[in-house]
Amino acid sequence: MVTIKSKREIELMREACRVAALAQKEIEKAIKPGISTYELDKIAEDTIRANGGIPAEKGYPSGEKGVPNFPGSICASINDEVIHGIPSKNTILKDGDIISIDLVAFKNGYNGDCARTYIVGNVPESTKRLIEVTKQAFFEGIKFAKEGNRLGDISNAIGTYVEKNGYSVVKEFQGHGIGASMHEDPGIPNYGKPGRGIRLQAGMTLAIEPMVIMGKSNILQLEDGWTIITEDGSLSAHYENTILITKKEPEILTII
Protein backbone atom coordinates (compact mmCIF):
# COMPACT_ATOMS: atom_id res chain seq x y z
CA MET A 1 0.00 0.00 0.00
CA VAL A 2 1.30 3.44 -0.92
CA THR A 3 1.04 5.79 2.05
CA ILE A 4 0.46 9.54 1.87
CA LYS A 5 2.08 11.24 4.83
CA SER A 6 0.32 13.85 6.90
CA LYS A 7 1.99 17.13 7.81
CA ARG A 8 2.96 15.69 11.20
CA GLU A 9 4.37 12.53 9.63
CA ILE A 10 6.38 14.60 7.16
CA GLU A 11 8.01 16.45 10.05
CA LEU A 12 8.92 13.13 11.67
CA MET A 13 10.29 11.84 8.36
CA ARG A 14 12.34 15.01 8.03
CA GLU A 15 13.97 14.39 11.40
CA ALA A 16 14.75 10.70 10.74
CA CYS A 17 16.25 11.72 7.40
CA ARG A 18 18.33 14.44 9.04
CA VAL A 19 19.83 11.85 11.40
CA ALA A 20 20.61 9.51 8.50
CA ALA A 21 22.32 12.34 6.61
CA LEU A 22 24.35 13.25 9.70
CA ALA A 23 25.64 9.69 9.93
CA GLN A 24 26.74 9.86 6.28
CA LYS A 25 28.61 13.09 7.01
CA GLU A 26 30.49 11.48 9.90
CA ILE A 27 31.35 8.48 7.75
CA GLU A 28 32.59 10.70 4.94
CA LYS A 29 35.01 12.39 7.36
CA ALA A 30 36.36 9.03 8.54
CA ILE A 31 36.91 7.37 5.16
CA LYS A 32 40.63 6.76 4.60
CA PRO A 33 43.00 3.92 3.81
CA GLY A 34 43.48 1.71 6.88
CA ILE A 35 40.04 2.09 8.46
CA SER A 36 37.86 -1.00 8.75
CA THR A 37 34.22 -1.17 7.72
CA TYR A 38 33.53 -2.24 11.32
CA GLU A 39 34.83 1.14 12.50
CA LEU A 40 32.64 2.94 9.95
CA ASP A 41 29.70 0.91 11.19
CA LYS A 42 30.42 2.03 14.75
CA ILE A 43 30.61 5.70 13.67
CA ALA A 44 27.21 5.42 12.01
CA GLU A 45 25.61 3.64 14.95
CA ASP A 46 27.04 6.10 17.49
CA THR A 47 25.92 9.12 15.43
CA ILE A 48 22.41 7.79 14.93
CA ARG A 49 21.99 6.83 18.60
CA ALA A 50 23.49 10.14 19.83
CA ASN A 51 20.76 11.88 17.84
CA GLY A 52 17.93 9.83 19.30
CA GLY A 53 17.63 7.28 16.53
CA ILE A 54 18.16 3.58 15.98
CA PRO A 55 20.16 2.11 13.08
CA ALA A 56 17.32 0.34 11.31
CA GLU A 57 19.42 -2.02 9.21
CA LYS A 58 20.75 -3.75 12.32
CA GLY A 59 18.84 -6.99 12.77
CA TYR A 60 16.91 -6.56 9.52
CA PRO A 61 15.59 -9.97 8.42
CA SER A 62 16.79 -11.31 5.09
CA GLY A 63 13.59 -13.17 4.33
CA GLU A 64 15.66 -16.14 3.14
CA LYS A 65 15.69 -19.37 5.13
CA GLY A 66 18.91 -19.98 7.04
CA VAL A 67 20.30 -16.49 6.49
CA PRO A 68 20.93 -14.55 9.73
CA ASN A 69 19.48 -11.08 10.23
CA PHE A 70 21.72 -8.28 8.97
CA PRO A 71 24.41 -7.75 11.64
CA GLY A 72 25.52 -4.21 10.77
CA SER A 73 24.22 -0.68 11.21
CA ILE A 74 25.35 0.10 7.66
CA CYS A 75 25.71 -1.79 4.42
CA ALA A 76 29.35 -1.34 3.38
CA SER A 77 29.99 -2.52 -0.17
CA ILE A 78 33.48 -2.23 -1.63
CA ASN A 79 34.46 -2.07 -5.34
CA ASP A 80 32.62 -4.89 -7.15
CA GLU A 81 30.20 -5.28 -4.25
CA VAL A 82 26.95 -3.62 -5.27
CA ILE A 83 24.88 -3.56 -2.08
CA HIS A 84 24.40 -5.26 1.30
CA GLY A 85 28.09 -5.72 2.14
CA ILE A 86 28.49 -6.74 5.80
CA PRO A 87 30.80 -4.53 7.91
CA SER A 88 33.76 -6.41 9.36
CA LYS A 89 36.90 -5.84 11.40
CA ASN A 90 38.72 -7.77 8.67
CA THR A 91 37.63 -5.49 5.82
CA ILE A 92 40.16 -2.66 5.70
CA LEU A 93 39.91 0.16 3.16
CA LYS A 94 42.86 0.52 0.80
CA ASP A 95 44.02 3.38 -1.39
CA GLY A 96 42.14 3.12 -4.69
CA ASP A 97 39.01 1.46 -3.29
CA ILE A 98 35.50 2.79 -3.58
CA ILE A 99 32.94 2.06 -0.91
CA SER A 100 29.17 2.38 -0.98
CA ILE A 101 27.57 3.08 2.38
CA ASP A 102 23.81 2.59 2.69
CA LEU A 103 22.19 3.37 6.02
CA VAL A 104 18.78 3.91 7.56
CA ALA A 105 17.98 5.90 10.70
CA PHE A 106 14.75 5.11 12.55
CA LYS A 107 13.49 7.83 14.87
CA ASN A 108 10.08 8.57 16.44
CA GLY A 109 8.49 5.82 14.38
CA TYR A 110 9.83 6.83 10.95
CA ASN A 111 12.76 5.94 8.70
CA GLY A 112 15.30 7.97 6.72
CA ASP A 113 17.36 6.11 4.10
CA CYS A 114 20.37 7.28 2.08
CA ALA A 115 23.42 5.86 0.31
CA ARG A 116 26.65 7.35 -1.00
CA THR A 117 29.69 5.95 -2.76
CA TYR A 118 32.98 7.33 -1.44
CA ILE A 119 36.47 7.16 -2.88
CA VAL A 120 39.38 5.99 -0.74
CA GLY A 121 42.59 7.88 -1.45
CA ASN A 122 43.33 8.09 -5.17
CA VAL A 123 41.19 6.48 -7.83
CA PRO A 124 41.30 6.73 -11.63
CA GLU A 125 39.15 9.30 -13.46
CA SER A 126 37.09 6.45 -14.89
CA THR A 127 36.06 5.45 -11.36
CA LYS A 128 35.18 9.02 -10.41
CA ARG A 129 33.02 9.21 -13.52
CA LEU A 130 31.07 6.08 -12.49
CA ILE A 131 30.33 7.65 -9.11
CA GLU A 132 29.34 10.99 -10.69
CA VAL A 133 27.04 9.38 -13.24
CA THR A 134 25.37 7.32 -10.49
CA LYS A 135 24.73 10.46 -8.45
CA GLN A 136 23.52 12.42 -11.46
CA ALA A 137 21.16 9.56 -12.38
CA PHE A 138 19.33 10.23 -9.12
CA PHE A 139 18.99 13.91 -10.02
CA GLU A 140 17.87 13.06 -13.56
CA GLY A 141 15.20 10.81 -12.03
CA ILE A 142 13.84 13.33 -9.58
CA LYS A 143 13.31 15.91 -12.31
CA PHE A 144 10.13 13.90 -12.85
CA ALA A 145 9.29 13.43 -9.16
CA LYS A 146 6.29 15.66 -8.76
CA GLU A 147 2.56 15.33 -8.30
CA GLY A 148 0.77 14.17 -11.42
CA ASN A 149 3.72 12.44 -13.05
CA ARG A 150 4.01 8.67 -13.09
CA LEU A 151 6.52 6.46 -11.35
CA GLY A 152 7.79 5.16 -14.70
CA ASP A 153 8.86 8.68 -15.63
CA ILE A 154 11.42 8.59 -12.80
CA SER A 155 12.56 5.04 -13.56
CA ASN A 156 12.95 5.76 -17.25
CA ALA A 157 14.97 8.93 -16.66
CA ILE A 158 17.41 7.07 -14.38
CA GLY A 159 17.88 4.05 -16.64
CA THR A 160 18.18 6.11 -19.82
CA TYR A 161 20.80 8.40 -18.32
CA VAL A 162 22.89 5.51 -16.98
CA GLU A 163 22.83 3.59 -20.25
CA LYS A 164 23.56 6.70 -22.30
CA ASN A 165 26.74 6.96 -20.25
CA GLY A 166 27.75 3.40 -21.08
CA TYR A 167 26.91 1.74 -17.76
CA SER A 168 24.27 -0.73 -16.56
CA VAL A 169 21.59 -0.47 -13.90
CA VAL A 170 20.89 -3.31 -11.51
CA LYS A 171 17.51 -4.83 -12.35
CA GLU A 172 16.93 -7.10 -9.35
CA PHE A 173 16.95 -4.38 -6.69
CA GLN A 174 15.10 -1.10 -6.64
CA GLY A 175 14.09 1.99 -4.71
CA HIS A 176 10.98 1.99 -2.56
CA GLY A 177 8.43 3.94 -0.65
CA ILE A 178 9.51 4.65 2.92
CA GLY A 179 7.88 5.81 6.13
CA ALA A 180 6.96 3.91 9.29
CA SER A 181 8.39 0.89 7.44
CA MET A 182 11.80 0.94 5.78
CA HIS A 183 10.34 -0.62 2.65
CA GLU A 184 6.89 0.47 1.57
CA ASP A 185 5.11 0.45 -1.76
CA PRO A 186 5.75 1.37 -4.47
CA GLY A 187 8.87 -0.41 -5.68
CA ILE A 188 10.88 2.00 -7.84
CA PRO A 189 12.96 0.26 -10.52
CA ASN A 190 15.95 2.05 -12.03
CA TYR A 191 14.64 1.38 -15.53
CA GLY A 192 11.22 1.44 -17.13
CA LYS A 193 8.84 3.11 -19.47
CA PRO A 194 7.64 6.70 -19.12
CA GLY A 195 3.92 7.16 -18.57
CA ARG A 196 3.59 3.83 -16.73
CA GLY A 197 3.13 2.98 -13.08
CA ILE A 198 1.30 4.75 -10.29
CA ARG A 199 0.61 8.46 -10.38
CA LEU A 200 2.69 10.48 -7.92
CA GLN A 201 0.92 12.42 -5.20
CA ALA A 202 2.08 15.12 -2.79
CA GLY A 203 2.88 13.54 0.57
CA MET A 204 4.51 10.38 -0.80
CA THR A 205 7.99 9.73 0.58
CA LEU A 206 10.23 7.70 -1.67
CA ALA A 207 13.77 6.31 -1.45
CA ILE A 208 15.21 6.63 -4.94
CA GLU A 209 18.45 4.76 -5.41
CA PRO A 210 20.33 4.17 -8.65
CA MET A 211 22.62 1.13 -8.35
CA VAL A 212 24.99 1.26 -11.29
CA ILE A 213 27.56 -1.18 -12.67
CA MET A 214 30.45 -0.15 -14.88
CA GLY A 215 30.19 -3.37 -16.91
CA LYS A 216 27.28 -5.74 -17.43
CA SER A 217 24.19 -5.67 -15.23
CA ASN A 218 24.45 -9.28 -14.02
CA ILE A 219 24.84 -9.79 -10.28
CA LEU A 220 25.56 -12.64 -7.88
CA GLN A 221 24.91 -13.17 -4.20
CA LEU A 222 27.72 -14.31 -1.92
CA GLU A 223 27.33 -17.28 0.40
CA ASP A 224 26.77 -14.96 3.36
CA GLY A 225 23.24 -14.56 1.95
CA TRP A 226 23.57 -10.78 1.85
CA THR A 227 26.42 -9.36 -0.22
CA ILE A 228 25.57 -8.67 -3.86
CA ILE A 229 28.50 -8.50 -6.28
CA THR A 230 28.86 -7.83 -9.99
CA GLU A 231 29.21 -11.01 -12.03
CA ASP A 232 31.90 -9.56 -14.29
CA GLY A 233 33.92 -8.14 -11.39
CA SER A 234 33.49 -4.55 -12.55
CA LEU A 235 32.96 -1.67 -10.14
CA SER A 236 29.58 -0.61 -8.85
CA ALA A 237 28.27 2.61 -7.30
CA HIS A 238 25.14 3.54 -5.36
CA TYR A 239 23.44 6.86 -4.61
CA GLU A 240 20.23 7.23 -2.66
CA ASN A 241 18.10 9.84 -0.98
CA THR A 242 14.71 9.88 0.66
CA ILE A 243 12.53 12.49 -1.05
CA LEU A 244 9.13 14.04 -0.47
CA ILE A 245 6.77 14.46 -3.40
CA THR A 246 5.07 17.85 -3.46
CA LYS A 247 2.95 19.71 -5.98
CA LYS A 248 6.12 21.43 -7.19
CA GLU A 249 9.76 20.33 -6.92
CA PRO A 250 10.55 17.35 -4.70
CA GLU A 251 12.22 17.93 -1.36
CA ILE A 252 15.35 15.90 -0.74
CA LEU A 253 15.14 15.00 2.94
CA THR A 254 18.52 13.29 3.36
CA ILE A 255 20.70 16.13 2.11
CA ILE A 256 21.49 18.58 4.91
CB of 142 to Mg ion, least distance (A): 16
**Helix 37-50 / helix 7-30 crossing angle, nearest 10 deg:** 140
User: Binding to Mg ion by residue 113, rule CB under 5 A?
Assistant: yes
Q: Which of 31, 32, 25 is nearest to 47 (CA)?
A: 25
Count CA atoms closer than 13 A to 44's CA, side-chain side: 32
- How is residue 150 annotated by DSSP? B
Q: Of residues 217-256, which lie at the interface with Mg ion (CB under 5 A)?
A: 240
Query: φ and ψ at 108, to 5 degrees?
Result: 50, 35
Does 102 participate in binding Mg ion (rule CB under 5 A)? yes
Q: Give the binding range for Mg ion (CB under 5 A) out of 12-20, 40-48, 81-89, 115-123.
A: 115-123
Pair 171, 238: CB distance under 8 Å: no
**Distances, alpha carbon 176 to alpha carbons 9, 18, 186, 205, in Å:** 17, 19, 6, 9
Q: Which stretch binds Mg ion (CB under 5 A): 37-45, 109-117, 144-152, 182-190?
A: 109-117
Binding mask 46-65 for Mg ion (x = CB under 5 A): --------------------
Does residue 15 interact with Mg ion by CB under 5 A? no
- The binding track of 137-166 with respect to Mg ion, each residue x by CB under 5 A or -, is ------------------------------
The nearest distance, CB 240 to Mg ion, in angstroms, is: 5
Q: Which is nearer to Mg ion, 240 or 251 (CB)?
A: 240
Answer yes or no: are the C-beta atoms of 241 and 194 closer than 8 Å.
no
Chain residues that interact with Mg ion, rule: CB under 5 A? 102, 113, 115, 240
